[in-house]
Amino acid sequence: MDYTYEQIAKMIDHSLLNPILTDEELEAGCQVALKYDVGSVCIKPYYLKRCSELLAGSTVAASTVIGFPQGGNTTSIKLAETRQAIADGGKELDMVVNIGKVLSGDWNYVREDLRAVIDCSHDAGSLVKVIFENCYLNNAQKIRLCEICGELGADWVKTSTGYGTGGATDEDLTLMRKHSPAEVQVKAAGGVRTLDRLLEVRAIGVTRVGATSTIQMLEDCKQRLAAGT
């Protein structure tokens, strides 16, 4: 096998973004993340402070979303969200691009919107994953976003919110890896529900996945490693 449990677990951003999740379920989700020692918990913004408290002292990062899921917030609102997330202990922030501006070809607006959040986050020592929502974009738009993210120093480019009309496809992941600088990582979100699928996107060059099926995937990983298959 070409992987360890730690390598697989640290690829997972345990997603707790479903709008109907209760406080009790969010609390339990954080405990799952701690138990399985995943990469991060990506949680609804209002619960980030509590999440950060629960994860304190662990190797699991607290993360949340900015401009989620539509990306249409003004830059000033995205900055306010960013500052609040940082104050609440957010170490990784998943920001949605302004999808309408991408489709309009207003690349200067898109760049400055991204720059504001990336610079603010980096100044505070936090990382940024830029969500494209590829299901609405053509390849030329995806490539331009990869180029802009590279120029601005984004930490990850990410396929989707998981709440659009499509998720992570091999075609998109291959394109994003090809057109992003080596230092910009790729995150797959939407449709990564099994260990086999996680291993498939890992082979493309993905380093993080957004997942709600964390327990199933990591229990499968443990069983396979124990069996040596």
* Annotation marks residue 23 as catalytic: no
pLDDT class of 1 with cuts at 50, 70, 90: confident
* Annotation marks residue 158 as catalytic: yes
3-state secondary structure of 3: coil
For the stretch 141-193, pLDDT in tens is 999 999 999 999 999 999 999 999 999 999 999 999 999 999 999 999 999 99
Write the DSSP symbol of residue 28: H
Which residue is catalytic, options 78, 91, 129, 158? Answer: 158
d(CA 205, CA 221): 19
d(CA 157, CA 97): 11
d(CA 226, CA 23): 35
Q: What is the mean pLDDT of residues 193-218?
A: 98
d(CA 229, CA 39): 24
pLDDT higher than 80, residue 229: no
Sign for the CA dihedral angle at 229, 7, 62, 144 comes to negative
Tokens 């082979």 belong to 203
For the stretch 70-83, pLDDT in tens is 999 999 999 999 99
The CB-side HSE value for 214 (13 A sphere, CA atoms) comes to 28
Which residue is catalytic, options 94, 113, 155, 172? Answer: 94
3-state secondary structure of 8: helix
Per-residue pLDDT at 180: 98
* Annotation marks residue 187 as catalytic: yes
